[in-house]
Structure 1
Amino acid sequence: MTLLAPLLDRWRLCAVLASAAMLAIAHAFQTFGGYAPCTLCLRQREVYWVAIALGVIFMAIVRLPGGPRWREATCWVLGLVFAVGVGIAVYHAGAEWKFWPGPTACASAGAGVDAAALSDFLAGARVRPPACDEAPWVFAGLSMAGWNALISLGLVALSVMAALRERSKR
């Protein structure tokens, strides 16, 4: 625990930085890897945007007069946000591996086509929108959604550890 102490003492900042890193990685896959995000990919990103916004707000709150009493609660809230991320990522990974159906609007069989894609199609290009029920990238047996679920679970665990550490300081 002593190695994690500095990280846990500044958990709000670390949560913001971890969330920003996850968004940067997702955008790098999109920009440099050519992996267009599906609907569930975008939902997973929303969790990190919420964590960044709340983390910044919480950093300000705990520095206000009387703010330190909110330190533990802010860690629990961040843990809850990351737990939502775990849920979305597990749902997405399960849909990719066909454990359950994904959203019908994002399925590979019934995906809609927008005007730009239709124009490209008419020009002769093969256009296929991203599907929530197909894993376009897999490493060590896990898709991007699977890795996101594990990382989000780790962020939940660190949030809980930070909250418990704050509680022990009182």
Structure 2
Amino acid sequence: MAGAFLVAFLSALAPLAARLSEATLALPPCALCLWQRAPYWIGFALASVALLGFGRRWLLIGAGLCASASAFIAAFHLGVEFGWWPSPLAGCQVAAINPNLSLEEMMASLAPRPTKPCDEPAYLLPGFPLSMAGMNLIYGAGLAALAFTFARKEFR
């Protein structure tokens, strides 16, 4: 039970910390940054359901796979940052949708160039040579290992 709670807490912590860094440090996310967050929310939901006790080991394995997926996206993002391969996305920060505007008006309001390309690393700590994508790779892999460890203990 404590393992499922810890996995749920840590799964929610990652995207919330990323959002906090955006708000407090003015670090705009690129599209790949945003993609890295979705698996954590799914992992949070799976680990939260595991708190109920039904199918806990399988739900923790699922949460671990979600953390692994985020780590995989982060590894891909690092490759884009290092210039090993191009980004498959435009890399723009997600634009806010205004339902009062027509599609043509929304398209005209977009910046002509991406505001945050995916190949431009975002650093949380100035001078620290690990980008946010690199930190997420480590965090996601660690969380996956933790979730798999708790799932293995459930088999006993």
TM-score by length of 2: 0.80
Matched residue pairs, number? 141
1:147 and 2:132 correspond? no
Show the 5 A alignment for 1:41-60: 41-60=33-52
Matches of residues 53-72 of structure 1 in structure 2 within 5 Å? Answer: 53-60=45-52, 62=53, 67=54, 70-72=55-57
Q: Which whole-Å CA distance do the structure 2 matches of 1:51 and 1:75 have between them?
A: 8
Given the alignment of the two structures, is residue 76 of structure 1 paired with residue 61 of structure 2, yes or no?
Answer: yes
Distance 1:43 1:104 in 2: 11
8 Å contact kept, 2:11–2:67: no
User: How far does residue 115 in structure 1 lie from its aligned partner after superposition?
Assistant: 3.8
RMSD in angstroms over aligned alpha carbons?
2.2
**In 1, Cα distance between equivalents of 2:20 and 2:13:** 10
Distance 2:90 2:110 in 1: 16
Q: CA deviation digits over 1:89-113, x for unaligned, max 9?
A: 1001111111222124228xxxxx9
- Normalised to the residue count of structure 1, the TM-score between the two structures is 0.74
Structure 1: runs of 5+ lacking an equivalent:
1-8, 108-112, 122-126
What CA distance in whole angstroms lies between the structure 2 residues aligned with 1:58 and 1:104?
35
SS in 1 for 2:76: helix
C-alpha separation in 1, matches of 2:41 and 2:86:
26
Q: Which runs of 4+ in 1 moved over 6 A?
A: none
After superposition, the C-alpha distances for 1:7-39 in whole angstroms (9 at most, x for unaligned) are xx5222112211222122111111111111111
Supply the distance in 2 between the matched residues of 1:101 and 1:149 (Cα, whole angstroms).
19
Q: Tell me which residue corresponds to 2:79.
A: 94
Structure with the largest fraction of helix: 1
Partner Cα distance (2:107, 2:147) in 1: 40
Q: How do 1:1-170 residues align onto structure 2 when only pairs under 5 Å count?
A: 9-60=1-52, 62=53, 67=54, 70-106=55-91, 115-118=108-111, 129-137=115-123, 139=125, 140-168=128-156
Which amino acid in 1 is paired with 2:84?
Answer: F
Aligned equivalent of 1:124: none
In terms of mean alpha carbon deviation, does 138-147 or 80-89 score higher? 138-147
Instruction: Name the structure 1 match of 2:98.
Output: none
